[in-house]
Amino acid sequence: MSRLGGLGTAAAALLAVVAVTTLAAPLLAPYDPDFPDLLSALAGSSSSHPLGADALGRDVLSRLMYGARTTLLGPALVICVSSVVGTALAITAAWAGGRVDAVISRVLDVLFAVPGIVFALITVAVLGPGIPGVVAGLAVAYTPYVARVVRSAALRERSLPYVAAAWVQGRSAFAICVRHLLPNLRPIIVAQSVSALGFAVIDVAAISFLGLGVQPPAADWGLMVKSGFDSAMRGQPLEAISAGVLIALVVASVSVLGDRLGRTV
């Protein structure tokens, strides 16, 4: 833990709390997140509803506890897919070199120029609103970020003597990549993935906010900012503020963590 430093440890602790809370939400949450108590609709903070209730009278705290599930699932999927695909492309490019490398790099450069949210909107247009469309689009958009970093690391690694030694021993290219290259690249891939996770959380939540990602009535932080915004217009800003601040805290923790991991690589 010491290598994370004070801030890094705090960030890791916050993420751990969020993870535990959301896993244990059925035990911890004071209410059923979907139970509409119309009498307390738009209620402010009180002992029964610490963070108030939304426009349908659902308890905001309980919905926040459950909401981490959908809020973090999408980004986690995006990062898994883009890290695997990006790493595979990067190692292929670095290993093959020449024309293969040129083509892969060029395509990645073009993808790089288009912001992630635009990709997600296109795939959502085709697949319809929902997490699958969002994940598909963002996974494509995030691949070049991973691939760029891993490719240059792989090129460096490839020129080291141990690779040549394995080559001389008659190992296959695939075996060298998987057995030797990949383990050495792992810290870089992990650091890069964690950094990208922060951006993925922002993008997925934004798309849900637009109504194109997670669909109501699910409890989701992005959606809660949206419905909380409507409540704020009617005088009750608590839902929007608490959901918004929570997203910002999680993103900040993830980026601090990514930064610290990147530094120790």
Partner 1 sequence: MSFLLKRLAGLAVVLLVASFLVYGLLYLVPGGPMAFLLGNRSGTPEQVAAIRAQYRLDDPFLLRYLSWLGDALTGDFGSSLVYRQEVAALIGSRVATTVLLVGYATVLISAGGIAMGLLAGLRGGRLDTAIGVLSSLFLATPPFVVGVLLAIVFSVGLGWFPVFGPGEGLLDRLYHLTLPAITLSLASAAFLARITRASVREELNREHVETARARGFGERHIVRRHVLRNASIPVVTVTGLNIAGLIAGSVVVENIFALDGLGSLFVRAILQRDFAIVQAVVLVLVTAFVLINLLVDLCYSALDPRLSR
Residue 95 or 119 with smaller CB distance to partner 1 = 119
Query: Is residue 11 a contact residue for partner 1 (CB under 8 A)?
Result: no
Residues 80, 65: Cα–Cα separation, whole Å: 24
What separation in angstroms does the CA of 218 have from each of 99, 130, 179, 223? 47, 11, 43, 8
Residue labelled with tokens 């073009």: 110
| CB distance 147 to 108 below 8 Å | yes
Residue 10 or 121 with smaller CB distance to partner 1 = 121
CB of 244 to partner 1, least distance (A): 4
Query: Is residue 130 a contact residue for partner 1 (CB under 8 A)?
Result: no
Given 60, 247, 257, 261, the residue binding partner 1 (CB under 8 A) = 247
CB of 200 to partner 1, least distance (A): 11
Query: Is residue 252 a contact residue for partner 1 (CB under 8 A)?
Result: yes
Cα distance from N-terminal residue to C-terminal residue, the chain: 15
Query: Is residue 192 a contact residue for partner 1 (CB under 8 A)?
Result: no
| CB distance 243 to 224 below 8 Å | yes
Query: Is residue 190 a contact residue for partner 1 (CB under 8 A)?
Result: no
Query: Is residue 232 a contact residue for partner 1 (CB under 8 A)?
Result: yes
The residue length of the chain stands at 265
Angle subtended at Cα 117 by Cα 128 and Cα 14, rounded to the nearest 5 degrees:
105
Residues 98-127 that bind partner 1 (CB under 8 A): 110, 113-118, 121-122, 124-127
Given 248, 263, 264, 265, the residue binding partner 1 (CB under 8 A) = 248
Residues 61, 66: Cα–Cα separation, whole Å: 9
| CB distance 143 to 89 below 8 Å | yes
**Interacting residues toward partner 1 by CB under 8 A:** 110, 113-118, 121-122, 124-127, 129, 198, 201-202, 205-206, 209-212, 222, 225, 228-229, 232-233, 237, 240-241, 244-245, 247-249, 251-252, 255
